[in-house]
């Protein structure tokens, strides 16, 4: 009964808000924190670089013309990242560039069709792609989320400021350890490692891209400041305090003008006003999460042109 009431309220909220485009916001979207405060936030994301990875390759083999692995590695003490790695089957004497891919909010995480398709697309373009599960998602499911409905995700995590900050902090550490893993365990070129995020992964990538300065570039696919049901987060977990700091590294944003999850006028365009050059912004006629063939081509072309 409670869930039915929540769903009914959510449906009413959608109808009302789509009409008014009136969504919660915060002060950081118009006034990001200063340099001193930002530097303090970076302490949240520090980790032990000497910690062994203890890599476990679960499966390895060829699929659709690529070499693929399912593997685990230690990120921080007691935290094991579950991942899929994709790379071109052909051998190369040169170091390949790397991509760290952050998935959307669905329960399949790195194993979702969109995650697999985008990872294979980038691997076929010549990159070594590491697609990771977040804490609480995929093979790292802790039981915090059971149904992965929008109501549940927001009630238990996204709109719980302390819990969400802890989740964001671990995710950014996982991104940094993924960078280390690609370089030290899979011989990726440390100067050519890119972060690509999709949906919730794009929102997290705004933070990781600003915090992890070793990344060569950042691509944000259908992400924004708040998603539709999101109404609160702490300053250290707010993408508005990080996205402008991705510069001078290249940034790509692809968003849909009909996105009903990250609303263009309230969740996306205000963030875009914080961007610095070099940047490329692409708007499509799509709704949330739909990437056309043109969008996929634009992503690959951008990767090739910005991180040679």
Q: What is the CATH number of the domain that holds 66?
A: 3.40.50.1820
Q: What pLDDT is attached to residue 8?
A: 39
Ramachandran quadrant class, 66 (left: phi over 0; alpha: psi -120 to 50; beta: rest): beta
Instruction: Confirm whether 14 is domain-assigned.
Output: no
The predicted model scores a pTM of 0.93
How many separate domains does the chain show?
A: 1
Residue 142's domain comprises: 23-306
Instruction: Confirm whether 217 is domain-assigned.
Output: yes
Instruction: Confirm whether 214 is domain-assigned.
Output: yes
Inform me whether the pLDDT recorded for 19 exceeds 70. Answer: no
pLDDT mean over 157-185: 98
In this prediction, residue 308 has a pLDDT band, given cuts at 50, 70 and 90, of confident
Instruction: Confirm whether 11 is domain-assigned.
Output: no
pLDDT tens column, 88-141: 988 776 899 999 999 999 999 999 999 999 999 999 999 999 999 999 999 999
Q: What pLDDT is attached to residue 21?
A: 54
pLDDT mean over 259-264: 97
Instruction: Confirm whether 277 is domain-assigned.
Output: yes
Instruction: Confirm whether 79 is domain-assigned.
Output: yes
Inform me whether the pLDDT recorded for 302 exceeds 50. Answer: yes
pLDDT tens column, 31-56: 999 999 999 999 999 999 999 999 99
Instruction: Confirm whether 279 is domain-assigned.
Output: yes
Q: What whole-number distance in Å separates Cα of residue 49 and Cα of residue 213?
A: 15
Instruction: Confirm whether 181 is domain-assigned.
Output: yes
What's the farthest any 2 CA atoms get from each other in the chain?
61
Q: What whole-number distance in Å separates Cα of residue 251 and Cα of residue 122?
A: 16
């Amino acid at each position: 009964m409670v869930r039915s009431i929540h769903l009914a309220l959510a449906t009413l909220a959608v109808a009302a808000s789509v009409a008014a485009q009136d969504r919660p916001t915060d002060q950081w979207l118009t006034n990001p924190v200063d340099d001193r405060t930002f530097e303090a936030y970076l302490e949240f994301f520090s980790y032990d670089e000497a910690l062994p990875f203890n890599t476990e390759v679960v499966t390895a083999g060829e699929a659709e013309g690529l070499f693929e692995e399912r593997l685990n590695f230690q990120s921080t003490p007691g935290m094991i990242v579950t991942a899929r790695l994709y790379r071109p089957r052909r051998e190369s004497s040169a170091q390949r560039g790397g991509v760290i891919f952050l998935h959307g909010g669905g329960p399949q995480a790195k194993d979702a069709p969109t995650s697999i398709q985008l990872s294979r697309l980038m691997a076929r373009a010549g990159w070594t792609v590491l697609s990771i599960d977040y804490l609480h998602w995929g093979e790292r499911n802790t039981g915090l989320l059971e149904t992965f409905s929008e109501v549940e995700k927001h009630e238990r995590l996204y709109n719980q400021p302390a819990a969400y900050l802890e989740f964001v902090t671990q995710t950014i550490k996982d991104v940094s350890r993924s960078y280390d893993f690609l370089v030290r365990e899979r011989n990726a070129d440390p100067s050519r490692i890119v972060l690509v995020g999709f949906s919730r992964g794009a929102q997290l990538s705004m933070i990781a891209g600003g915090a992890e300065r070793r990344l060569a570039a950042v691509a944000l696919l259908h992400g924004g400041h708040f998603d539709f049901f999101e109404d609160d987060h702490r300053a250290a977990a707010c993408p508005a305090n990080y996205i402008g700091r991705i510069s001078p590294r290249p940034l790509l944003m692809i968003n849909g003008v009909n996105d009903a999850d990250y609303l263009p006028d309230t969740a996306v365009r205000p963030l875009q006003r914080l961007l610095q050059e070099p940047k490329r912004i692409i708007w499509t006629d799509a709704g949330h999460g739909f990437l056309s063939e043109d969008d996929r081509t634009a992503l690959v072309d951008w990767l090739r042109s910005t991180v040679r």
